[in-house]
């Protein structure tokens, strides 16, 4: 999944408060789902467990960093874009060529549910008025800085065929093989229930395996 940098509208002079509120809202939502997963595990509710594991993984992979660019004016650090903060999100629906038409429709429906839930979380954050449009790549580099963008790309440099271990999300601790590398997204083939399955993972959620 490839995240894009979205504009978030807030009130001037309340950018820091909006940023922290949005970060806490994301953390709280994922924490609540993990607590629900624990309860479902105790009850042995297999379908509920599977659904929550999928939701947690999707959210962790689709939600990125909340950004507040600042600049120094005199002796003060001020907001570079008054009335705005930015958040890295993946709100796109992806397809899987291995699925049938009916399965793909169900797969897309699950993604839409997660995307809508993420949008609701953004709107519920204190001092956030609405979620805007994603920035173009050039504008994104202005927000996070060209040096940081290059560092991110270098830090997560993977190639097809590498053995990796998933370190975050519902598949945490699972080893797999990279079968496809795209912009800010890896496809890793893992063994699940005796079957080889490709899963989409963001680079920061994997590390090279020692095996």
Q: How does pLDDT run across 61-100, given as a tens digit for each residue? A: 999 989 888 877 778 888 888 889 999 999 998 887 788 8
Q: Where in the chain is the domain with CATH 2.30.30.30?
A: 157-211
Whole-number pLDDT of residue 125: 93
CB 119 within 8 A of CB 52: no
If pLDDT is split at 50, 70 and 90, which confidence band does 138 have? low
Which architecture characterizes domain 4-155 according to CATH?
Answer: 2-Layer Sandwich (3.30)
* Mean pLDDT to the nearest integer, 147-154: 48
| Residue 32, token pair as written in the block | 């609540």
Q: Where in the chain is the domain with CATH 3.30.70.940?
A: 4-155
| Residue 157, token pair as written in the block | 């440099």
Q: Please list the residues that pair with 189 across neighbouring strands.
A: 177, 198
- pLDDT averaged over the chain? 83
| pLDDT score of 46 more than 70 | yes
* Mean pLDDT to the nearest integer, 108-128: 93
If pLDDT is split at 50, 70 and 90, which confidence band does 166 have? confident
Q: pTM (2 decimals)?
A: 0.65
Which architecture characterizes domain 157-211 according to CATH?
Answer: Roll (2.30)
CB 188 within 8 A of CB 177: yes
HEC sequence for the chain: CCCEEEEEEECCCCHHHHHHHHHHHHHHHHHHHHHHHHHHHHHCCHHHHHHHHHHHHHHHHHEEEEECCEEEECCEEEECCCCEEEEEECCCCCCCCCCCHHHHHHHHHHHHHHHHHHHHHHHHCCCEEEEEEECCHHHHHHHHCHHHHHHHHHHCCCCCCCEEEECCCCCCCCEEEEEEEECCEEEEEEEECCEEEEEEECHHHEEECCC
């Amino acid at each position: 999944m490839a995240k894009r940098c979205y504009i978030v509208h807030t009130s001037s002079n309340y950018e820091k408060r909006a940023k922290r509120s949005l970060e806490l809202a994301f953390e709280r939502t994922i924490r609540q789902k993990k607590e629900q997963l624990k309860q479902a595990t105790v009850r042995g509710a297999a379908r509920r467990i599977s659904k929550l594991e999928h939701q947690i993984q999707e959210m962790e992979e689709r939600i990125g960093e909340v950004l507040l660019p600042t600049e120094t004016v005199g002796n003060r650090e001020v907001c570079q874009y008054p009335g705005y903060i930015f958040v890295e999100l993946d709100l796109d629906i992806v397809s899987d060529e291995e699925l049938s038409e009916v399965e793909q429709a169900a797969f897309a429906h699950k993604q839409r549910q997660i995307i809508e839930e993420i949008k609701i979380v953004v709107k519920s954050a204190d001092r956030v008025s609405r979620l805007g449009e994603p920035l173009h790549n050039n504008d994104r580099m202005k927000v996070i800085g060209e040096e940081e963008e290059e560092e991110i790309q270098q830090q997560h440099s993977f190639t097809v065929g590498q053995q990796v271990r998933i370190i975050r999300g519902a598949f945490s601790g699972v080893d797999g093989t990279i079968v496809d590398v795209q912009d800010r997204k890896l496809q890793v083939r893992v063994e699940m229930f005796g079957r080889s399955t490709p899963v989409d993972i963001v680079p920061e959620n994997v590390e090279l395996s020692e095996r």
